[in-house]
Amino acid sequence: MNDMDKIYDMYGRDIYKYLLKMTGNEDVAEELLQETFLRAVKQIDSFRGETSIKAWLIVISKNCYYSAMRSPWRKLIREGEESADGKTEDISDCFENKEEVRRLHRILHNLGEPYKEVFSLRVFGELPFKEIAELFGKTESWAKVTFYRAKSKIIDKMNKEE
């Protein structure tokens, strides 16, 4: 087990709880938790020990949350949430026009596997993570992480095209 795994084991649950309070959504909190630790791995050299690791991770998680909510693709980030009337938001409602929907499909078409299939099953097939995991013979956690990574790749490519 490497140091980051140990840090995740020690603080992951607390960071998740913090993000859950901010988002009010378990899936979004879990996705932001993954992003937090991804950024922490990339930025570990910048950690100077002036604060505790937990405080540093909380700052990173807060920044992940604010970045996600400022993104023009925030509705995509919050895909799958139920609206007040209990209906799940349609992916096409996330975009302002048909051109953006075409862009999404083009980017998705060029996305590698298993990201393309997991994203499609979740968004277009509206399958729960548990069923996606069963289809691939993997864990539910794997399905969630793969879906999050697919969304991140799509959002990055969309942002780069702007």
Three-state DSSP state, 82? strand
Query: How many C-beta atoms lie closer than 10 Å to residue 116's C-beta?
Result: 17
Instruction: Say whether pTM exceeds 0.85.
Output: no
| Per-residue pLDDT tens listing for the chain (162 residues) | 567 788 889 999 999 988 888 777 787 888 889 889 988 888 888 888 877 888 889 889 888 887 777 665 555 555 544 443 444 445 545 555 567 777 777 888 899 999 988 888 887 767 788 888 888 899 988 888 898 888 888 888 888 876
Q: Is 81 exposed, middle or buried (0-12, 13-18, 19+ CB in 10 A)?
A: middle
Cβ neighbourhood burial of 119 (10 Å; 0-12, 13-18, 19+): buried
8, 51 contact by CB (below 8 A): no
